[in-house]
Structure 1
Amino acid sequence: MTNRFSLAHLTTLGCTPPEMTYLAARAGYDFVSLRPIYMGLPGEPNYALAENKQMMRETKEALAETGIQLLDIELARICDDVDPKKYVPAMEVAAELGGRHVLSSIWTNDRDLYMERFIELCELAKPFGLTIELEYVPIASVTNLAETLNVLRAANQENAGLMIDIHHFHRAGDKIEDLDAVPREWFRFLHLCDAPAKIPASKEEMIKILREERLYIGEGCIDIASIVERIPEIPYSIELPHNKRAQELGYEEHARRCLQTAKAYFEAYSFQKR
């Protein structure tokens, strides 16, 4: 089995998409996972490529020069106050850059609304040949595997799938054996990282760890091997933000160690795909 890895946006948050692409190539990645949808979060740069034509050209050149491929773009959130049509320019960017998937998550408790908007998002993505990968987040509105599968089954969209984040899977308390019931075609990539065994009691601490203090693969206590062996062979996007290490090592060395530890972990196990 040949594992393929993507460098996710949050791992090298301060790098522009072209910088991140060149960095990913030097560090040995196969893909990049970019965030050309600006979310307006505190301290987060704006990499909206649809609005920044120069950065878009530079990103396209970086992908062509390095041979790195765009795996996915993020994050098409389903919210009370965001029209899914707002994401169409980013979908156009993804299609032009050869991307395959759009990552989405749900941040409203209004089920009728989020079902309607999720289905609309899937329909908007179809002309671009893109899939919509639904990720659950313990601090969002759809918070675990069961809820996410319920959405996907109810939506019944051929281009919709499930994106498991190893961190969120652990924090949600999901059971590894429940992955066996997921249709194999719903798995297209996953987010890889590690974390301490103890699950934070407060939302603030949860946010701090998931955005600033994730651990290298094999460094924490998540049973990654048991999760991965139940999932088909798909790309692994390493989403492993760690502010202190990125500052001390630099983004490139941090990204390189993320990949090195992941490869070492996978080499230590023989996964039997189901």
Structure 2
Amino acid sequence: MRPAFALAQLTALHCNPPQMIDLAASAGYDHAGLRLLPVAPGAVAYALMDDPALLRETLARMADTGVSVFDLELIRLNADFDPATFEAFFEVGARLGAKAVLVAGDDPEPARLVANYARLCDAMQPYGLTADLEFMPWTAVPDLDTALQIVNQADRANAGILVDSLHFDRSASRLDQLASIPAQWLHYAQLCDGPAERPSTTEALIHAARCERLLPGEGGIDLKAIWQQLPAQLPVSVEIPNDRRVAQMGVHAWAKAALQAAQATLITPP
């Protein structure tokens, strides 16, 4: 059996939730991911919590197409984190039937970060959502080792670690660490490729991650080696933003090419 594939919001950032559902369906995906909260103040996001009409349209498109919402983005854990402020987000997630929420760690105080991550897990648990902590080199969770420590210390049933192939490679995390992740902490993984030469500055790392990712097989990341350490049926979020090529090809052609490259990389022919 093949893994399920989800179209990540960042692959088609300027598509609103109903458009994401339609795009995922027409391009052949099983699921879609939606960004309901911005990565930074003023950044693109679609706050379905505050737009009942758009939420109804999203649910209608899901019913019509059969494409479900797998993951939601994103919650940042900083020094002022309060899980109560995200209650409407959790409620919408439950209405959408989402499974996972992407979590980023921005708090430089390790003990407080662990405590707030545990509080987030507790707040999300009644809504059937997992809190998937993504390690990124420019955050307070810069590598897989740090993510493993936080999730282990939090010790919550709905805790998880999100492996993004680009961040895994850029953070110099190790394959043996991947193999050590308990299966119950893995709910999905994000797939893309990137140049073999790693960016040398934080600014360049962020720009490449948000604007210049490559299709699987086009770059220098050993994707097959990474996925050999992960569960075979782990759902895959295809997250491949590339501003220049989307402008050239159109978002539908790009989303379809991304899925085809992902399938060619991860599915072994019978």
Normalised TM-score (structure 2): 0.96
Question: Structure 1's 74 and 201: CA in aligned 2 closer, same or farther, altered over 3 A?
Answer: same
Residue 27 of structure 1 corresponds to: 27
- Partners of 1:30 and 1:224 lie apart in 2 by 21
Residue 167 of structure 1 corresponds to: 166
Pick which of 125-134 and 211-220 moved more. 125-134
Question: Structure 1's 269 and 165: CA in aligned 2 closer, same or farther, altered over 3 A?
Answer: farther
Cα RMSD after superposing both structures: 1.4
Q: CA deviation at 1:39?
A: 4.0
Unmatched tracts of structure 1, length 5 or more:
none
- Partners of 2:269 and 2:204 lie apart in 1 by 31
Residue 53 of structure 1 corresponds to: 52
Q: CA deviation at 1:54?
A: 1.0
**Which contiguous aligned blocks of 4+ residues in structure 1 show a shift greater than 6 angstroms?**
none
- Match of 1:265, as an amino acid? T
- Match of 2:213, as an amino acid? R
SS in 2 for 1:32: strand
Q: CA deviation at 1:40?
A: 4.3
SS in 2 for 1:164: strand
Q: Residue 81 of structure 2 contacts residue 116 of structure 2 at CA under 8 Å; is this kept in 1?
A: no
Q: CA deviation at 1:160?
A: 0.3
- Partners of 2:176 and 2:269 lie apart in 1 by 19
Normalised TM-score (structure 1): 0.95
Residue 217 of structure 1 corresponds to: 216
Residue 264 of structure 1 corresponds to: 264
Q: Is 1:6 aligned to 2:22, yes or no?
A: no
- Partners of 1:114 and 1:4 lie apart in 2 by 31
- Partners of 1:229 and 1:169 lie apart in 2 by 14
SS in 1 for 2:50: coil
- Partners of 1:269 and 1:184 lie apart in 2 by 25
Pick which of 227-236 and 84-93 moved more. 84-93
Could you report, residue by residue, the CA deviation over 1:219-274 in whole angstroms, capped at 9, with x for unpaired residues? 0010110110111121100111100111111111111110011112224589xxxx
**Paired residues, number:** 269
- Partners of 2:113 and 2:242 lie apart in 1 by 31
Q: CA deviation at 1:165?
A: 0.5
- Partners of 1:207 and 1:269 lie apart in 2 by 35
SS in 2 for 1:2: coil
Q: Is 1:73 aligned to 2:69, yes or no?
A: no
- Match of 2:121, as an amino acid? C
Unmatched tracts of structure 2, length 5 or more:
none
- Partners of 2:38 and 2:47 lie apart in 1 by 6
- Match of 2:235, as an amino acid? P
SS in 1 for 2:190: strand
Q: Please show how residues 72-91 of structure 1 align to structure 2 within 5 Å.
A: 72-91=71-90
Q: CA deviation at 1:30?
A: 0.3
Q: Residue 103 of structure 1 contacts residue 133 of structure 1 at CA under 8 Å; is this kept in 2?
A: yes
Q: CA deviation at 1:51?
A: 0.4
Could you report, residue by residue, the CA deviation over 1:127-162 in whole angstroms, capped at 9, with x for unpaired residues? 111111111111111110111000011000011011
- Partners of 1:39 and 1:171 lie apart in 2 by 19
Residue 121 of structure 2 corresponds to: 122
SS in 2 for 1:204: helix
Could you report, residue by residue, the CA deviation over 1:163-203 in whole angstroms, capped at 9, with x for unpaired residues? 10000000000111221211111111000000011111111
Q: Please show how residues 59-208 of structure 1 align to structure 2 within 5 Å.
A: 59-208=58-207
Q: Residue 17 of structure 2 contacts residue 46 of structure 2 at CA under 8 Å; is this kept in 1?
A: yes
Question: Structure 1's 68 and 138: CA in aligned 2 closer, same or farther, altered over 3 A?
Answer: same
